[in-house]
Amino acid sequence: MQIDIDQIDLTGEVPVREPERQYYFMAKVSGYVKRRSEELGRPMTFCTQTFGCQMNSRDSEKLEGILEAVGFVQTDTEEADFVLYNTCTVRENANLKVYGRLGVLNSLKKKNPDMMIALCGCMMQEEDVVEKIKKSYRFVDVIFGTHNIYKLAELLYQRLEAKKMVVDIWKGTDQVVEDLPADRKYSFKSGVNIMFGCDNFCSYCIVPYVRGRERSRSPKDIITEIKGLADDGVVEIMLLGQNVNSYGKTLEEPVSFANLLSQADEVEGLERIRFMTSHPKDLSDELIETMKNSKKVCRHIHLPLQSGSSRILKLMNRRYTKEKYLDLVDKIRTAMPDISITTDIIVGFPGETEEDFLETLDVVRKVRFDSAFTFIYSKRTGTPAAKMEDQIPDEVIKDRFDRLLSLVQQISSEVCGREVHTVQKVLAEEVNDHKEGYLTGRLSSNTTVHFKGDPSLIGKIVDVYLDESKGFYYMGTLRP
Ligand code: 5AD
Ligand code: SF4
């Protein structure tokens, strides 16, 4: 359902139901944007900055869809009439970045009286953050969280009417509002939310507190969205959830993630399916079988390890052991020998000893990950780990981090070349900025390849011969 906001009757009552209510407010704000653009003699502009994970990127596409629907024009610079930061709080660094940039926004706002600044996303779900912004960053216009991004037009309207800061943060929700616009960054690929929130409560992680309880969308709504995307020219989708392997367990009629994948596999026109993220504790044999039998599900799995020490994994509340993780990798590789496995690893969790750390290195050596995101443990207030004794000194963490990174890089440069001298299916994604006449694309394994090609190929899946492995990427030649 897409509604033409120019046709909405603004004389009647404000609709109570969603998404009708939001379309009503979009029409209201659109009137304001139109009037003000005419007065200014130029279009009103917006700029979004997205921090953090793929979930936030997808949320930003929805926010941008609303802003475009009301008549704002997107720009890359923060010298815009509406600047929106979609924040992350998974590590302390992410928060510091936002505070730093708010100072810059304040000086821009002094030059442009029309400018409005909005903050949303995970960081805004933390009470102390919102208090700090209310006190020390009075120039911010709108603050909202992760549960009510669909309300952007309504909040914007409130701000225009009230002419003071609007704050709307929800502790949680069981509502999933469908059928609002979204502005996809790529015309040919898209994220699709299949679930929201997380119930795992890994002891270091703030996500369950800021994204709320796990909620799955109905398979019918998801498949309808995917069909719509495919009809619109999308060839690759990424199914998104904090833990896709527990998808559907709490639905009235429970459905497994593997079953959802099989349904997505049937969608005509769609050529590739990815998903993110898998929790090792819930990865089923059924899923491995479904992946193996599918031509569309990509040969890549992101399987966060976090630590290789069973003792630390227990303290992290991950609910698997080192041995179980290694067995799972074996099972996946037996079924799909060509699969690429990537991971996340945290260094310096409270109480991590040198022996624990060596266990992590041991898993890295045994699994030989295609790539690994390595993180320094960041203490997040409100999580159980923040209260644990024996926080690790910075210099010890730094030393371990460097050793881990160099091992991970060495292995991935060896592993990533395994498809060299073969022809692979590649989704051409963008013009290569560094090499004239070249395009950049992705293999099923998610590795990138640069090859000579015409921009008209972007969005198409083409055959590319991989001439040379450069460690983390390939140089290739287009095959006719
Ligand atoms: N400190 C460091 N890394 C963290 N992650 C989550 N919480 C923290 C934390 N407090 C990492 C995990 C997760 C990834 C998205 O971020 O590795 O998989
Ligand atoms: Fe955080 Fe664990 Fe949930 Fe991932 S599974 S979002 S690490 S609590």
Q: What is the pLDDT of residue 10?
A: 83
- Range with lowest mean pLDDT among 95-104, 146-155, 171-180: 171-180
pLDDT tens per residue across span 340-391: 999 999 999 999 999 999 999 999 999 999 999 999 999 999 999 999 999 8
What is the residue with the minimal CA distance to atom 8 of ligand 1? 205
- Answer yes or no: is pLDDT of 311 > 60: yes
Rounded average pLDDT over 84-102:
94
CA dist., res. 179 & res. 189, Å (int): 19
Segment 155-166 shows an average pLDDT of 94
Q: Report the C-alpha dihedral over residues 350, 355, 360, 363, rounded to 10 degrees.
A: -150
- Report whether residue 203 contacts ligand 1, using a CB cutoff of 6 Å: no
Measured from the Cβ of residue 340, the count of other Cβ atoms closer than 10 Å reads: 23
pLDDT band at 480 (very low <50, low <70, confident <90, very high): confident
Q: How many Å lie between the centroid of ligand 2 and the Cα of residue 202?
A: 6
* Arithmetic mean of pLDDT, 83-112: 94
| Confidence at residue 2, expressed as pLDDT on a 0 to 100 scale | 63
CA distance 60 to 48: 7
| CA distances, 302 to each of 98, 203, 240 (Å) | 28, 20, 12
Average pLDDT, the chain: 95
Q: Which distant-in-sequence residues (6+ apart) come within 8 Å of 25 by Cβ?
A: 153, 154, 156, 157
Rounded to whole angstroms, the Cα distance separating 163 from 456 reads 47
Nearest Cα to 261, choosing from 242, 236, 239?
239
- Per-residue pLDDT, 1: 54
Question: Which pLDDT tens digit goes with each residue over 193-248?
Answer: 999 999 999 999 999 999 999 999 999 999 999 999 999 999 999 999 999 999 99
Token readout for 51 is 């921090």
Per-residue pLDDT of 38-51, as tens digits, reads 999 999 999 999 99
Q: What is the pLDDT of residues 112-123, one digit of tens each?
A: 999 999 999 999
What distance in angstroms lies between residue 192's CA and the mean position of ligand 2's atoms? 19
Mean pLDDT of 334-339: 96
Ligand 1 centroid to Cα of residue 205, in Å, is 6
Query: Tell me, what's the pLDDT at 5?
Result: 80
Domains of the chain: 5-168 (3.40.50.12160), 186-298 (3.30.750.210), 303-319+326-416 (3.30.750.200), 422-478 (2.40.50.140)
Mean pLDDT of all residues in 178-199:
90
| Mutation test residue for ligand 1: of 375, 381, 383, the one with most atoms within 8 Å of CB | 375
Question: Is 205 annotated for ligand binding?
Answer: yes
Q: Residue 436's pLDDT is what?
A: 95
**181 vs 132, more confident:** 132
- Of 473, 464, 480, 470, the residue nearest 422 (C-alpha): 464
Encode pLDDT of 393-406 as tens digits: 999 999 999 999 99
Residue 179 clears pLDDT 80, i.e. is over it: no
Tokens 């959830």: give the residue.
241
Q: Name which of 180, 133, 158 is nearest 2 in CA terms.
A: 180
pLDDT at 183: 87
Burial of 141 (0-12, 13-18, 19+ CB in 10 A): buried
Given a cut of 90, whether residue 7 has pLDDT beyond it is: no
- Kindly tell me if the per-residue pLDDT of 16 is higher than 60: yes
Among residues of the chain, what percentage have pLDDT more than 90?
91
Q: Is residue 276's pLDDT more than 90? A: yes
Mutate to test the pocket of ligand 1, among 198, 205, 276, 388 (most ligand atoms within 8 A of CB): 205
Whether the pTM exceeds 0.85: the reply is yes
Determine the pLDDT at residue 116.
Answer: 97
Confidence of residue 469 (pLDDT cuts 50, 70, 90): very high
First-to-final CA distance of the chain? 40
CB atoms near residue 10 (< 10 Å): 11
Comparing C-alpha atoms, which of 365, 356, 368, 362 is closest to residue 396?
Answer: 356
Name all residues whose Cβ lies below 6 A of ligand 2. Answer: 198, 200-202, 205, 207-208, 242-243, 279
* Span from the CA of 383 to the centroid of ligand 1 (angstroms): 12
Closest ligand 1 atom, residue 380 Cα: 10
